[in-house]
Amino acid sequence: MKKLPGWRLTSGDVADSLRQGLGRGDADSGGARTRAALVAAEVALSLVLLIGAGILIRSLWLLGHVDPGFDPRGVTAITVDLPESTYPTPQSRTAFFRTLLDRARGLPGVESVGAAIAVPLSDANHWPVAIEGAPPAPVGQQPNVVGVVILGDYLKALRIPLQRGRAFTPADGPDAPGVILVSESMAKKFWPGQDAVGKRLTTAAYPEKPREVIGVGDVKYEGLDVRDPVPTLYTPYDQMPAPQMDVAIRARGPVAAAAVAAVRQLDPAQPVLQIATMERLLADSIAPRRATMLLLGVFAAVAVLLTAVGIYSVVAYGVRRRAREIGIRMALGARAADVLRMIVLQGMRPTLAGMAIGLVATLALGRVLSGLVYGVTASDPPTISAVAVLLCLVALAACVLPARRATRVDPLRTLREE
């Protein structure tokens, strides 16, 4: 690459150059075209990176304002998995978790406590279901929903609103009729245009026991960026005891250490698998998007800086090469404004060409970003317009600075030097 400029200069016709009287102040057309092409390429790349970063930033901002369906503030979740060897029966598991919840309620600052087989934004379980009254589906083709077993004041601890119907009560025990709560998205999917309360279904785990819908609520269980919330059902713990539960504690202040101590008091050999705040789980759910946005943002900032430096360098170099021409123009009466306009227009031409190329390349970028954005299209007009204006202003500033320097040229001194 280092030999290209020298090769280009030595490959010309020497006699023709002498006849044209090329001096050090004259610009060669081949070099000018090469520099213009490099500027256009820099601008195109910067535009693509800036648009990508801008769209991801806007998408992340919109994602941060999505209602998850619960209030994560002040909630700590600890995961407890009871070994079957120590707690072999449903009664022993139920007794452990009920006692743990009772002790957690007595901790300082605790407002409400509940437990679930999985809190939102964690690993959810999917259950095949059969809707009563719907055509039976073959095994393996039944619709899947997120299944959550809950205990205690779980809905209250996460402040999950119940839109219709009632919540679970102690009367919904193991020998009582099967009952469930369903999400609004599940109600709309399986009973469109109807009230889901009173409808019945069976789960693949307990096909012999039909379950009646007694209430409707909604939570984004599998992530904030899920455009259509996954259908979710809740069942009382007494009717489906599970060995592993996430205990959710809403408290005013830190409570994790005290909650772990409560587990140790019940069973010193029982480990706590995970401790996390719901706010951290919420932040972790969009962490990959944030990392992608930051990485693309850094690349975009570097690209803009290089573009500004490149345009400035090319225009400044062109001004130096054309010092004799500019001096002659000003000696013949050209105004400073005319020289400024001429240099800026010539510097902006490759910029505008690069922006046109970049806009075309953005269409291909849209297909790449389509799976990474939320609430905004990959070809978002406001973002593209804002980025285009920003890049134009950067390019204009990079052109104006050397152009203003050119208008201060002393024509007589320049001609004497040439």
- Per-residue pLDDT of 69-97, as tens digits, reads 788 899 999 999 999 999 999 999 999 99
- Do 361 and 391 lie in a common domain? yes
Among residues 217, 235, 269, the one where a domain terminates is 269
- Do 92 and 145 lie in a common domain? yes
Among residues 269, 300, 327, the one where a domain terminates is 269
**What pLDDT does residue 77 have?**
93
Residue 9 lies in a domain: no
Domain boundaries, position 233 = 83-269
For the chain, what is the domain count?
2
- Tell me what the mean pLDDT of segment 122-147 comes to: 82
Give one DSSP letter per residue of 78-134, joined into a string. EEEE--TTTS-SHHHHHHHHHHHHHHHHTSTTEEEEEEESS-TTS--EEEEEEETTS
Residue 328 lies in a domain: yes
Residue 150 lies in a domain: yes
What mean pLDDT value characterizes the chain? 80
Judged by DSSP in three states, 172 sits in coil
CA 343/CA 407 separation, integer angstroms? 10
Residue 400 lies in a domain: yes
- Do 256 and 292 lie in a common domain? no
Residue 215 lies in a domain: yes
Q: How far is CA 140 from CA 143, 147, 206, 225, in A?
A: 9, 17, 16, 27
CB 181, CB 214: distance < 8 Å: yes
Q: pTM of whole model > 0.75? A: no
Selection from 111, 125, 118, 105 nearest residue 77 by Cα: 118
CA 131/CA 210 separation, integer angstroms? 10
Q: How far is CA 154 from CA 107, 151, 236, in A?
A: 17, 6, 10
**Percent of the chain whose predicted confidence (pLDDT) is above 90:** 20
CA 4/CA 247 separation, integer angstroms? 69
* Lowest pLDDT segment from 126-130, 195-199, 328-332, 386-390: 328-332
Residue 231 lies in a domain: yes
- Do 247 and 359 lie in a common domain? no
> Which stretch, 98-112, 176-190, 226-240, has highest mean pLDDT?
98-112
Helices (H) and strands (E) in the chain, counts: 13, 11
Residue 282 lies in a domain: no
Is the pLDDT at 20 greater than 50? The verdict is no
- Do 205 and 239 lie in a common domain? yes
State residue 70 phi and psi, 5-degree precision.
-150, 165
- Do 202 and 100 lie in a common domain? yes
- Do 162 and 240 lie in a common domain? yes
pLDDT band, residue 52 (cuts 50/70/90):
confident
- Do 258 and 340 lie in a common domain? no
Residue 408: both structure tokens together: 């201060």
State residue 344 phi and psi, 5-degree precision.
-65, -45
